[in-house]
Amino acid sequence: MGTTDSQAAGNNPGGNSSKKVNSQRVDYWSQLLKTVTADSDAATGWVGEVRSKATAIAQELALPSTRDEDWRFTDLSPLLDIEFSVAGAIATPGITAADVAIEEAPGSRIVFINGRHSPELSDLSALGELADKVTVSAWSAGHDSVLNATVESNLGKIQTSAEAFTALNTSAVNEVAVISVGRNADIELPIHVVFLSAGTGAIAQPRCLVKVGTNSRCTVVEEHRALEHTDDSDAPYWVNGVTEISLADNAEINHARVQRDTLTAFHIGNTAVSQARDSRYTLTSLDAGARVSRHNLAVSQKGPGTHTAFNGLNVATERQTSDTHTFLNLQHPHGTADHLHKCVANDRGHTVFNGRVFVGQQAQQTDAAQLNRNLLLSSKARVDTKPQLEIIADDVKCTHGATVSQLEDNEIFYLRSRGLDEMAARRLLLDGFVGEILERLPVQSLRSPLATAIAAQIRANS
C-alpha cells in the first residue's frame, strides 16, 4: 500500500495546476470567499489592502482537487457537501480556564474561540513583569494597539497568499494572536496559544503571528481543538488557520503544535517560518484530529548558519485523512536540518507525508537529514509518503529516507520472550513509536495525556 516516491516533482504552492478545474469547485470556492469576506468588518488602510490583495488572489483559485499535484492524496470533496457559514462568537463557552490550562504556563495563556479572543479563558498575568521583554496579545483590526507596527510589517509577509487557504484566511483577517519577543530576551515561561472551535457547518479562521527578536529565545505551545471535546459529535466544523513565525538573527523558538479537532471536523493549517542568520527553529507537531487534516509547514532560510528541526506525528484512524506537507527552502550556507516524521494509520485511516527540501546554489555546507517512518496497522489503512530532495549546491550532506511497516514480528517476539503478553507487547511498541515524537514536546505535562489519548484512539477500533 505504501508508496515511496523520491522524484522531484514540480511544486505548485497554489495547489491549482490543473486547467480542467471542475466548475463545481470554482463555484464553491467563490461562494466561500464571499461568505468569509462579507462577514469581516470593513477595514481601511493597510489592513484593508492586505485583505483585498488576498481576496484578489483567492478569486483566481478554486477548491483544490486530487488532480492538483499538491493535493494528489488528500481529497477535499467532502467539503463540497457542506455550505459553510462563518463561525460566530460564543459568549458563554461552557468551560473554564482550568479546562484549557497547562501547568507549565498558568499565567501565559491566550485563548481564541472560533478565531475570536476569549478574555475569560485567557490568563496573561505571569507576563506582567516581563512586559519589557515579551508582549502576548490579541490584536484586532481597527483598534489601537502598540502592536500595530509589528503586525503591519509582518502579517501576510512570512506566508504569502499564493497558497489558496492562506489567501482565504487573509482575505478576512481580523483578530490575530500576537507574540512579540524583544531583543536579548530569554523567556523561560512557555507561551500557550489555544484555538478552540465549535459550530455545525461553521468555518473558523484563526491567525497567529510570532516574532522573536535578535538573540532571544522562547517556547510557544499552539493547540487546536474543539470547544467541547466530544469525539463522537457529528457536527462538522472547519478550521482554516495560519501561523506566521519570524526569527531574527540568532533567535530561537521551540514550537509545539497540537491539533486534536473532532473526527468530523476539517482542519487546514499553514505554518510559515522565516529564519534569519544563526536562528534555530524547532517544531514538534501532532495531528491526530479531524476527518480531513492538512498541515503545510514552510520554512524559509534568510541567512547562513540556521538550524531547523521538525518532529512530526500524524495519526489517522476510522476514516480520517491526515496530511502533512513540509517545505524547507535553504538558500544560504551552513544550514543544518533534522527532520523525523512519523505516521500511524489504522482502520481505514490514511496518512500523507510530503517532505520537500530545496538546497539552492548558495546553500553550500548544508547538513540536512530527513526520515519518515510509517506504521500501517490495518489492511485497509493507507500510507502515502513522498520525500523530495532537490539539491543545486555541490558541497552538501543530505540524507532522506522513508519506511512503511507493520509492527514487526521480531519486535513482538522479543518482548514476548521477556514475559510480556502479545497485547502488552503491541501496546509498548505502539507507545514507543508515537512516544519518540511526543517526548520531544517542550512541555512535559502534555506528553503523557496525549500518549494515552492517542493510544486509545488507535486501539478503539482494532
Task: Say what the alpha-carbon torsion angle 102, 219, 369, 288 is, to the nearest 10 degrees.
Answer: 30
The half-sphere exposure of 52 on its side-chain side, counting CA atoms within 13 A, is 8
Per CB under 8 A, 231 contacts other proteins: no
413 binding other proteins? (CB under 8 A): yes
Whose Cβ is closer to other proteins: residue 162's or residue 428's?
A: 428
Considering the rule CB under 8 A, would residue 139 count as an interface residue with other proteins?
A: no
The residue from 9, 235, 428, 455 that contacts other proteins (CB under 8 A) is 428
Residues 305/276, Cβ–Cβ less than 8 Å: no
Give whichever of 60 and 421 is closer to other proteins, judged by the CB atom. Answer: 421
For other proteins, the closer CB: 90 or 429:
429
**Can you tell me which of 408, 444, 448, 461 binds other proteins, judged by CB under 8 A?**
408
CA gap 118, 351 in Å, rounded? 33
**Distances from the Cα of 64 to the Cαs of 18, 79, 289, in angstroms?**
9, 11, 21
Q: Is 444 in the site for other proteins (CB under 8 A)?
A: no
As measured in angstroms, the least distance from the Cβ of 408 to other proteins is 8
Please tell me whether residue 390 binds other proteins under the rule CB under 8 A: no
The DSSP code for 60 is T
460 is a site residue for other proteins (CB under 8 A): no
422 counts as binding other proteins under rule CB under 8 A: yes
Report how far residue 422's alpha carbon sits from residue 413's, in angstroms, rounded to the nearest whole number: 8
Longest dimension (CA), the chain: 70
Among 90, 429, 453, 455, binds other proteins (CB under 8 A): 429
- Determine, following the binding rule CB under 8 A, whether residue 435 of this chain makes contact with other proteins: yes
Provide DSSP, 171-224: TT--EEEEEEE-TT-B--SPEEEEEEE--TTEEE--EEEEEE-TT-EEEEEEEE
Q: How far is the CB of 98 from other proteins (least distance, A)?
A: 28
Q: Which residue, among 255, 344, 352, has the nearest Cα to 296 in the 3D structure?
A: 352
Size of the site for other proteins (CB under 8 A): 24
Nearest residue (CB) to other proteins, 75 versus 439 = 439
Q: How far is the CB of 210 from other proteins (least distance, A)?
A: 29
**Judged by CB under 8 A, does residue 407 bind other proteins?**
no
> Cβ neighbours of residue 279 under 8 Å, at least 6 residues apart?
212, 247, 248, 249, 250, 251, 252, 303, 306, 307
Q: Which residue in 26, 405, 416, 444 binds other proteins (CB under 8 A)?
A: 416
CA distance 83 to 37: 15
DSSP three-state, residue 134: strand
Under the binding rule (CB under 8 A), the answer on residue 403 touching other proteins is: no
Q: Which stretch binds other proteins (CB under 8 A): 13-21, 113-121, 165-173, 420-428?
A: 420-428
Site for other proteins (CB under 8 A): which residue of 3, 26, 142, 414? 414
Give the C-alpha separation, 96 to 120, whole Å.
8
Per rule CB under 8 A, is residue 120 in the interface with other proteins? no
Q: Which stretch binds other proteins (CB under 8 A): 66-74, 76-84, 193-201, 433-441?
A: 433-441
**Residue 216 has which C-alpha cell?**
532571544
C-beta of 5 vs 408, nearer to other proteins: 408
Euclidean distance between CA atoms 352 and 325, whole angstroms: 8
| Residue carrying C-alpha cell 516516491 | 5
- Cβ proximity to other proteins: between 338 and 436 the closer is 436
Q: Which is nearer to other proteins, 8 or 424 (CB)?
A: 424
- Give the separation between CA 293 and CA 295, rounded to whole angstroms: 7
**Is 310 near other proteins (CB under 8 A)?**
no
Interaction of residue 41 with other proteins, rule CB under 8 A: no
Residues that bind other proteins (CB under 8 A): 408-411, 413-422, 424, 428-429, 431-436, 439
